[in-house]
């Protein structure tokens, strides 16, 4: 982690400069307490000096704007759909224009390489929004024989999340985005006189939208100011990754590379529903379909202790799993997190214990994910004030 409230672009290492490492929104919120971290070759606000609990409740009750490091990659050309069918476990050609879909990429051995959202912008044009990882090299390594172009649209991503996000995006788009915009729908809209790509998606488990800039065509400070102006009547505030991370854990959203990795198959991460058996050519298909395995990732509740990533989870004296992530949940007033078990088993409902760095034991209860809202009603329901529907 690095304190970089006023990072000089000239100081950015060349390997990151091409990925636009420092956000164009950075100056809109940076202060002496800002702590930056790096993901997908981009710096993001890990912490911004805010009251994390207050920001969490703003996310639950109003709206929060996040500057996130997700990086869109464009795949276009006559063979874009069949090429992406090769890369991802779900059929890309089945995605309608103006829609998105959560997808997985597997290794040749069937391990999870990466997850993310795939949007279809036109018949032969897609954006894959990737988290951290080396997707570019993977795409280039497998593009032989396909008439496709892989490019960087130089898009930075904002997440507008929370129950008031619809009212804000409706005002920001002059009414063009309303409750009729369905979950995982997307398109180009004018926000404050600037054309940007907007999707009804997010990483929070709450109603939310993601806003994608268009490189040099977007005046990012002006876009930020417009969103904050439209959001002011609804209590909009800026948040770092801290509150978003708490909420995504509660919602059972996994983080690629930390909660799961290439040593796990989709079923072991509870993601088998995102494997399309009718997609006959995706990388790793034979291994994924031939291997029977069960979920190894569960939630844990720990009163009076915040579980830390890397902490061992034990049944008696036997280490049976490891914590992948943890946080304090204001909703439960307890520590929550994920545990990745070494083996499948009847873990749900068991009382185990975590060993912290100082050797202390902390009791924890194993639960299924998500911690609440299992039917994802919060992200699926969208109503403007006064809308009787």
pLDDT digits 0-9 by tens, 237-257: 999 999 999 999 999 999 998
What pTM does this model have?
A: 0.92
Query: Which residue do the tokens 């007033």 mark?
Result: 333
Q: Is the pLDDT of residue 7 over 70?
A: no
Q: Is the pLDDT of residue 6 over 60?
A: no
Q: Whose CA is closest to 65, among 148, 154, 159? A: 159
In this predicted model, what pLDDT tens digit does every residue of 130-173 receive, in sequence order?
A: 988 788 889 999 999 999 999 999 999 999 999 999 999 999 99
Cα(114)–Cα(266) distance, integer angstroms: 10
Contact 326, 337 (CB under 8 A): yes
Q: Enumerate domains of the chain plus CATH numbers.
A: 1-293 (3.30.1360.120), 295-371 (2.40.30.110)
Q: Is the pLDDT of residue 389 over 50?
A: no
Instruction: Kindly report the number of other CB atoms within 10 A of residue 153's CB atom.
Output: 15
What's the farthest any 2 CA atoms get from each other in the chain? 62
Arithmetic mean of pLDDT over the chain:
92
In this prediction, residue 273 carries a pLDDT of 95
- The bridge status of strand 64-68 relative to strand 237-238 is parallel
Q: Is 159 exposed, middle or buried (0-12, 13-18, 19+ CB in 10 A)?
A: buried
Alpha-carbon distances of 73 from 62, 151, 265, rounded to whole Å: 31, 6, 24
Q: Kindly indicate the confidence band of residue 301, based on its pLDDT and cuts at 50, 70 and 90.
A: very high
Cα(220)–Cα(286) distance, integer angstroms: 45
Cα(267)–Cα(369) distance, integer angstroms: 14
Residue 68 has which token pair?
């996130």
């Amino acid at each position: 982690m690095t304190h970089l409230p006023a990072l000089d672009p000239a100081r950015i290492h060349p390997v990151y400069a091409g990925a636009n490492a420092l956000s164009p929104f950075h100056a809109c919120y940076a202060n002496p307490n800002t702590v930056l971290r790096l993901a997908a070759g981009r710096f993001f606000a890990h912490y911004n000096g805010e009251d994390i609990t207050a920001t969490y409740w703003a996310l639950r009750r109003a709206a929060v704007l996040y500057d996130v490091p997700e990086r869109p990659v464009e795949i276009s050309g006559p063979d874009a759909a069949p090429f992406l069918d090769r890369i991802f476990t779900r059929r890309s050609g089945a995605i309608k224009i103006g829609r998105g879909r959560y997808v997985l990429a597997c290794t040749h051995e069937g391990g999870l390489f990466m997850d993310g959202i795939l949007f279809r912008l036109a018949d032969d044009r897609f954006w894959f929004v990737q988290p951290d990882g080396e997707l570019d090299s993977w795409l280039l390594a497998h593009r032989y024989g396909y008439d496709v172009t892989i490019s960087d649209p130089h898009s930075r991503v904002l997440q507008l999340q929370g129950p008031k996000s619809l009212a804000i995006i409706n005002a920001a788009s002059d009414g063009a985005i309303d409750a009729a915009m369905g979950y995982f729908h997307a398109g180009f809209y004018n926000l404050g006189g600037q054309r940007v790509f907007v999707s009804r998606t997010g990483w929070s488990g709450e109603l939310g939208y993601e806003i994608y800039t268009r490189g040099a065509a977007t005046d990012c400070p002006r876009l930020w100011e417009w969103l904050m102006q439209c959001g002011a009547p609804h209590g909009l505030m800026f948040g770092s990754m801290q509150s978003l991370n708490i909420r995504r854990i509660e919602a059972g959203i996994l983080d690629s590379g930390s909660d799961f990795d290439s040593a796990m198959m989709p079923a072991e991460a509870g993601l088998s529903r995102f494997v399309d058996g009718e997609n006959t050519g995706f990388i790793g298909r034979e291994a994924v379909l031939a291997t029977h395995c069960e979920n190894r990732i569960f939630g844990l509740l720990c009163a009076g202790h915040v579980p830390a990533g890397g902490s061992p989870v034990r049944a008696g004296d036997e280490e049976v799993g490891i914590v992948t992530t943890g946080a304090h949940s204001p909703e439960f007033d307890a520590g929550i997190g994920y545990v990745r078990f070494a083996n499948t088993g009847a873990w749900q409902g068991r009382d185990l214990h975590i060993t912290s760095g100082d050797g202390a034991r902390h009791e924890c209860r194993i639960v299924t994910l998500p911690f609440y809202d299992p039917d994802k009603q919060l992200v699926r329901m969208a109503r403007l004030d006064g809308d009787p529907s």
